[in-house]
């Protein structure tokens, strides 16, 4: 495949959005948080091999997206070079336009030795170039490195291309979704944490109709939601009803989630909430900013999404309602159902190693040795938390950020988003929290992992899905909103499914089913 041809393909799909990529949506506050199930003693405490004193530093150029306004100073880079015996050149580019830079650099053969992608969607787009031999296959080398060999096999499997490993991954907790609610409102009304979807419905009703803030005014609503069927309320509620995660197996083939009856149940449930006025009726046109503001202003009492959002929600809420209390909760099921929660593939981004920049196997091994050192507690903590005493302190064996949040974001954030692995594999500290709702959230996230509902297509490929995924998904997204709003009925939704199938969806089903059976 010629690079020029690849550029055209990538540019044509620039707007493509993968279901789990929105680490675009969650990549803001959530990506700053460590995995809760970490064991900081599980990785070696020092680099596996200290470089000889007279060894020349390895020169490495690294390209990666920047999720803050300005390029970070060299505070962390200088310390990183000392710990890893490297001379590093970081090429930071704004995340909003990062894919354009990736495409242009690929087309001109100017990608550096270490190339971070933007998210899982970008990874999908680059699989054609990976198959074409433009990037190093690194799987055979991982066992040669003590720390790289600790990366989770299950997550590495989700990054494979045709059964081979070409990338290292930036790990994320599998399932962070749950409920954040106004505990003071619940206490005022004598309500406990909801166990079923009907309990949740009753709480939304009471929060709307029963004056939960006791101010004598009709000025509250139950659920606040936004125009996002994935990281908003819909997909988490869908898990409560037992819907598969994106795709599920039925009668020997893989089918999309919206072809399962549980998806219809979820739409019916949200339609009931909306029709009754127990949530913001214009949720399909509500941004995340406006959704969050409804909770933080004291207007809404239920927020369904990442439980790690609770810190920022609470901190801003008490500015407006000083007496407010919040709580987090998981394990909500439909009556008689079993608890499960949808999961991401365990990573939010990957890093590739272009053959155009790394010419020899020896050079590749030197670059991989840098990442092996990155996966030691000393280096991982430096890159994720910063310098102890300057950016964080250690309390009860956990990292507690210093009060100067602006300094931490300016100096550390740019590097934090590039750390390979997760605390269980690289030994970095988990975060220290004082808010009980956040402490509970971390516990719930651990509890979510064993019952996580995985997407069976995560390690699979469908050429048609890659080509037409966004276009076809819009058919279903629009139909889902129309159903909940009452603009179409079940027959209308089924018609949308037939439209999806006729325009390429059936081909996606066939391709994913064939790939799934081949992997059995």
Tell whether 286 and 400 lie within a shared domain.
Answer: no
Tens-digit pLDDT profile for residues 371-428: 999 999 999 999 999 999 999 999 999 999 999 999 999 999 999 999 999 999 999 9
C-alpha–C-alpha distance, residues 146 and 50, integer Å:
13
Residue 81 pLDDT grade (very low, low, confident, very high; cuts 50, 70, 90) = very high
Residues 285, 402, single domain; the answer is no
Instruction: Assess whether 126 and 230 both reside in one domain.
Output: no
The pLDDT of residue 284: 97
pLDDT confidence of residue 45: 38
Domain end: 423, 440, 470, which one? 423
Domain boundary residue, one of 431, 459, 487 = 459
Residues in the chain: 520
* Residue 420 near residue 309 (C-beta atoms within 8 A): no
Same domain, 384 and 263: no
Whether residues 331 and 210 fall in one domain? yes
The percentage of the chain sitting over the pLDDT mark of 70, rounded to a whole number, equals 90
| pLDDT the model gives residue 41 | 36
Helix (H) or strand (E) holding 178: strand 177-182
**Are 306 and 233 in the same domain?**
yes
Residue 324 within any structural domain of the chain: yes
Whether residue 298 sits in one domain with residue 281: yes
pLDDT level of residue 302 (50, 70, 90 thresholds): very high
Give the span between the Cα atoms of 467 and 8, in whole angstroms. 12
Most confidently predicted of 461-470, 490-499, 510-519: 490-499
Task: Say whether pLDDT at 15 is over 60.
Answer: no
Tell me: do 205 and 304 sit in the same domain: yes
**CATH code for the domain of 295:** 3.40.190.10
Q: Which pLDDT score is estimated for 36?
A: 34
Q: pLDDT class for 53, splitting at 50, 70, 90?
A: low
Convert the pLDDT of each residue in 260-269 to its tens digit. 999 999 999 9
- The CA-CA-CA angle for residues 390, 395, 396, to 5°, reads 155
Residue 29 pLDDT greater than 70, yes or no: no
pLDDT of residue 126: 93
Sign of CA dihedral 83, 86, 89, 92: negative
Residue 230 maps to a domain: yes
In a domain, 405, yes or no: yes
pLDDT value of position 125: 87
Give domain status of residue 471, yes or no. Answer: no
Q: Is pLDDT of 42 > 70? A: no
The band of 52, judged by pLDDT with boundaries at 50, 70 and 90, is low
Is 221 within 8 Å of 208 (Cβ atoms)? yes
E strands in 307-395: 326-329, 341-342, 347-352, 392-395
Question: Which of 375, 400, 423 is the last residue in one of the domains?
Answer: 423
Residues 189 and 336 grouped into a single domain: yes
pLDDT in tens, 164-213: 999 999 999 999 999 999 999 999 999 999 999 999 999 999 999 999 99
Domain tally, the chain = 2
Note whether residue 153 is domain-resident.
yes
First to last CA, the chain: 30
pLDDT tens figures, 209-260: 999 999 999 999 999 999 999 999 999 999 999 999 999 999 999 999 999 9
Do 326 and 202 fall into the same domain? yes
pLDDT per residue over 84-140, tens digit each?
999 999 999 999 899 999 999 999 999 999 999 999 889 988 999 999 999 999 999
The number of beta carbons lying within 10 Å of the beta carbon of residue 301 is 29
309 and 181 within one domain:
yes
The answer as to whether 125 is a domain residue is yes
Could you tell me the residue range of the domain that residue 258 belongs to? 177-342+454-459
Q: Are 16 and 124 in contact (CB under 8 A)?
A: yes
pLDDT at 328: 98
Domain shared by 170 and 181, yes or no: no
Q: Is residue 391 part of a domain?
A: yes
pLDDT at 4 over 90: no
CB crowding 124-135: b at 16 or more within 10 Å, else e: bbbebbbeeebb
- 484 lies in a domain? no
Cα separation of 430 and 35, whole Å? 7
Q: What is the average pLDDT value for the chain, to the nearest integer?
A: 90
pTM for this prediction: 0.82
**Rounded to an integer, what distance in angstroms lies between the CA atom of residue 363 and that of residue 512?**
37
């Amino acid at each position: 495949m010629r690079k020029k041809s690849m550029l055209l393909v990538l540019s044509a799909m620039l707007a493509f959005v993968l279901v789990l990529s929105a680490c675009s949506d969650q990549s803001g506050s959530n990506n700053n948080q460590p995995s809760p199930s970490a064991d900081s003693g599980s990785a070696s405490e020092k680099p596996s091999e200290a470089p000889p004193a007279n060894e020349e530093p390895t020169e490495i150029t690294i390209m990666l997206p920047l999720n803050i306004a300005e390029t970070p100073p060299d505070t962390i880079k200088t310390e990183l070079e000392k710990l890893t015996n490297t001379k590093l050149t970081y090429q930071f580019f704004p995340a909003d336009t990062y894919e354009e830079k990736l495409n242009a650099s690929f087309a001109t053969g100017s990608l550096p030795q270490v190339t971070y992608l933007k998210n899982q969607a970008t990874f999908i787009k680059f699989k054609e170039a990976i198959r074409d031999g433009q990037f190093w296959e690194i799987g055979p080398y991982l066992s040669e490195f003590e720390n790289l060999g600790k990366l989770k096999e299950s997550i590495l499997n989700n990054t494979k291309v045709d059964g081979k490993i070409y990338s290292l991954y930036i790990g994320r907790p599998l399932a962070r979704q749950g409920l954040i609610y106004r505990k003071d409102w619940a206490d005022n009304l004598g309500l406990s944490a909801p166990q079923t979807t009907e309990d949740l419905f009753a709480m939304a009703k009471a929060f709307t109709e029963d004056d939960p803030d006791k101010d004598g005014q009709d000025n509250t609503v139950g659920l606040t939601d936004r125009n996002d069927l994935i990281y908003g309320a819909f997909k988490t509620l869908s898990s409560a009803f037992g819907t598969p995660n994106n795709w599920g197996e039925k009668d020997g083939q893989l089918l999309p989630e919206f072809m399962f009856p549980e998806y219809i149940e979820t739409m019916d449930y949200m339609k009931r909430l909306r029709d009754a006025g127990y949530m913001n009726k214009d949720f399909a046109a509500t941004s995340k900013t406006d959704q969050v503001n409804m909770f933080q202003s004291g207007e809404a009492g239920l927020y369904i999404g990442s439980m790690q959002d609770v810190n920022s929600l609470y901190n801003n809420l008490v500015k407006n309602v000083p007496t407010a209390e919040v709580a987090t909760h998981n394990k909500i099921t439909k009556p008689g159902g079993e608890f499960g929660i949808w999961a991401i593939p365990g990573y939010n981004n990957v890093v590739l190693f272009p053959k155009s920049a790394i010419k020899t196997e020896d050079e590749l091994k030197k670059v991989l040795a840098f990442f092996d050192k990155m996966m030691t507690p000393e280096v991982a903590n430096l890159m994720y938390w910063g310098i102890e005493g300057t950016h964080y302190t250690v309390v009860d064996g956990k990292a507690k950020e210093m009060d100067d949040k602006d300094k931490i974001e300016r100096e550390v954030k740019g590097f934090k988003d590039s750390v390979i692995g997760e605390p269980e594999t690289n030994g970095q500290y988990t975060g220290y929290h004082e808010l009980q709702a956040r402490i509970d959230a971390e516990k719930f996230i651990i509890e979510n992992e064993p019952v996580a509902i995985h997407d069976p297509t995560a390690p699979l490929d469908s050429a048609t899905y890659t080509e037409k995924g966004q276009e076809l998904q819009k058919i279903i997204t629009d139909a889902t909103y129309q159903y909940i709003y009452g603009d179409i009925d079940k027959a209308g939704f089924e018609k949308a499914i037939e439209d999806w199938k006729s325009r390429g969806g059936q081909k996606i089903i066939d391709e994913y089913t064939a790939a799934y059976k081949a992997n059995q």
